[in-house]
Structure 1
């Protein structure tokens, strides 16, 4: 059964894909800078997406037994599809729901 993403609303939570892991890999240095930590493990677990003027990704990331939630914005293609880390929540658990922040 196909699911739809409503413009402006978040998608259902999905298992992380190789594309989402690539996004995490690209923003990892910014996440380390914002938290003042170095992450030896930075593995995307799950995510939800919100279509806006581009796409907001809310990603749950395993950082070695602890978890962080990332809010990453990808601009529209005509804007160069640059990724920006807009926020990070630390001290999350595997059970914590991914929510808008």
Structure 2
């Protein structure tokens, strides 16, 4: 992958699920909604000064959200940040820049 570029879509891993679990409270607060189902489906990464993850999350029924999560470099000692999100997504919507 080229630095700054977005890599190919990959199936979610336990590490990716851990990342979405960590930012779930941030999304629930921003959306003013509680999610009983919150399962990472797939993701793409962008390496910048840290890593940006674009992750598709199944939130129940036919509902999906796309999350943009920034992971700072380890030496910065900062938490994961939900920097943007898109609701109203479907199973077939591709995860891309937003």
Distance 1:71 1:86 in 2: 6
1:20 aligns with one of 16, 23, 27: 16
Query: In angstroms, what is the RMSD of aligned CA positions?
Result: 0.7
Please identify runs of 4+ aligned residues in structure 1 that moved more than 2 A. Answer: none
Distance 1:76 1:96 in 2: 29
Unpaired runs of 5+ residues, structure 1, are: none
Q: 1:6 to 1:15 in 2, by over 3 A?
A: same
Distance 2:14 2:78 in 1: 17
The Cα of 1:82 is off from its aligned counterpart by 2.0
The equivalent residue for 2:87 is 90
